[in-house]
Structures are given as structure tokens and as C-alpha cells.
């Protein structure tokens, strides 16, 4: 089975995604969009996978950890202590996580695979043959950031999907748009 990596990120006009290991903005509707997309499954008995770097894991407030109704995979080169967190596993590399998804523990028990950041994990995922789609919220404002989304490259095609709002959103005077890009080179194998 081909694992399809769906990336989801929000970036402002300078492609910034984070500051001081936090989000530079507070947009409740954007957060709700993230939660809905990454949580929704067609088969209620299954869960989606969310893959994130250790710093993104650290940035989630304790009361929201692990991301609920999703299987959390955290990438770290160290041995993480994730004891006490249900449905949460650590992997030493993205490839290890993909291999596990293809072969072992989660086989048949999950539906969609979402890569939720941060910077290097997005880059590695977009370079992977498993990279399928990028759900990118474009925030139409510049924020001071220290972490950035990697360059988009020329293998992406803007697509529209029925469940994704087309119109510009606005919250607290900040405008943003939901964009979806598909990897033109993705092949089912």
C-alpha cells in the first residue's frame, strides 16, 4: 500500500510558521480547520495519523497533548519519554515512521496520514516519494517569525477540493486563504 503524506501548515506572507516555539498568530477558525481535517475519517472505527517533530510536540500545551482522536507520531533523534500519553509513539526518522505505517503496528487501523510540522519535517516530507498533498493556509499578513516553511518547488499544482472553503477567511482583522497543492510527481506504487 502506498502511504500518502498530506502536509498541513499555516504560513504568513514571509512563509513564517513559528516564533519562540509557538504560533505567531492566534486564529481559532484556522485551528478548528486543522483539527477537523486531521481528525476526520470516513470509517469511524479508524483514526488518522499525525506526524510531527519533537519541537512541535513540545509546543502543544499539556492539556491538548496528545492531539486527541489521532495517533501521534513524534520524530526525535533522542529516546523520548512518552509514557502516559495514549496513542503516541516516537520514531527516529520519517522513513522509520513510514515503514512502520506500511508494514506493522498500525496496518489497517488508520486512514489518513498528516504531517503537521515543523520546518525540517515538512522539507523532508516534500522530498519524499510519499508526498501527496499540501494543505497550506496562506495568512495574508507578515508576522515576525524564526521558523519558516521550506520553498514550495515547481512540482506542485494548485487544486480545489469540495470540502475546502474557497473564499477568503477573516478573523480579528487578519485575512487568510485555504490552499491545496498536489504533488504532480506522486505515483501510486
Ligand X SMILES: NC(=O)c1ccc[n+]([C@@H]2O[C@H](COP(=O)([O-])OP(=O)(O)OC[C@H]3O[C@@H](n4cnc5c(N)ncnc54)[C@H](OP(=O)(O)O)[C@@H]3O)[C@@H](O)[C@H]2O)c1
Taking alpha carbons only, the member of 93, 178, 167 closest to residue 134 is 178
Active site residue 23: yes
State the minimum distance, in angstroms, from the CB of residue 162 to ligand X: 23
Phi, psi (deg, nearest 5) at residue 80:
-85, 145
* Residue 155 in contact with ligand X, rule: CB under 6 A: no
Assess 35 for contact with ligand X (CB under 6 A): no
Q: How far is CA 151 from CA 34, 57, 127, 169, 174, in A?
A: 21, 23, 11, 24, 23
Counting every residue, how long is the chain? 189
30 given a catalytic annotation = yes
Cα separation, 49 vs 67, in Å, equals 10
Q: Does 101 bind ligand X (CB under 6 A)?
A: no
Which of 5, 48, 118, 156: binder of ligand X (CB under 6 A)? Answer: 118
* 14 binding ligand X? (CB under 6 A): no
Contact between 30 and 158 under an 8 Å Cβ cutoff? The reply is no
Q: Give phi and psi for 96, each to the nearest 5.
A: -60, -40
Q: How far is the CB of 150 from ligand X (least distance, A)?
A: 10
Return the number of the residue (10 or 71) whose C-beta is nearest ligand X. Answer: 10
Q: What is the largest CA-CA distance in the chain?
A: 47
Number of residues that bind ligand X (CB under 6 A): 28
Nearest to 5 by CA among 94, 75, 77, 65: 94
Q: Which helix (H) or strand (E) holds 70?
A: strand 70-75
Catalytic choice (23, 75, 101, 136): 23
Rule CB under 6 A: which of 163-182 touch ligand X? Answer: none
Report the nearest approach of ligand X to the CB of residue 4 (Å): 19
- When asked if residue 21 is in the footprint of ligand X (CB under 6 A), the reply is yes
Check residue 55 for interaction with ligand X (CB under 6 A): yes
- Which residues are part of the catalytic machinery? 23, 30
What is the binding site for ligand X (CB under 6 A)?
9-10, 17-18, 21-23, 52-56, 59, 75-78, 92-94, 116-121, 124, 147
Amino acid at each position: 500500500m502506498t502511504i500518502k503524506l498530506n502536509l498541513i501548515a499555516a504560513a504568513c506572507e514571509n512563509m513564517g510558521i513559528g516564533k519562540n516555539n509557538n504560533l505567531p498568530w492566534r486564529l481559532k477558525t484556522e485551528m478548528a480547520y486543522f483539527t477537523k481535517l486531521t481528525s476526520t475519517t470516513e470509517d469511524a472505527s479508524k483514526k488518522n495519523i499525525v506526524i510531527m517533530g519533537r519541537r512541535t510536540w513540545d509546543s502543544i500545551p499539556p492539556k491538548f497533548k496528545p492531539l486527541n482522536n489521532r495517533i501521534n507520531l513524534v520524530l526525535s533523534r533522542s529516546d523520548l519519554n512518552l509514557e502516559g500519553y495514549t496513542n503516541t509513539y516516537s520514531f527516529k526518522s520519517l522513513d522509520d515512521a513510514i515503514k512502520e505505517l506500511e508494514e506493522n503496528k498500525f496496518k489497517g487501523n488508520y486512514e489518513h496520514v498528516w504531517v503537521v510540522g515543523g520546518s525540517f519535517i515538512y522539507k523532508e516530507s516534500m522530498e519524499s516519494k510519499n508526498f501527496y498533498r499540501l494543505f497550506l493556509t496562506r495568512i495574508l499578513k507578515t508576522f515576525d517569525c524564526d521558523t519558516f516553511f521550506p520553498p514550495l518547488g515547481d512540482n506542485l499544482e494548485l487544486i480545489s477540493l469540495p470540502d475546502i472553503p474557497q473564499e477568503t477567511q477573516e478573523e480579528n482583522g487578519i485575512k487568510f486563504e485555504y490552499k491545496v497543492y498536489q504533488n504532480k510527481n506522486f505515483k501510486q506504487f
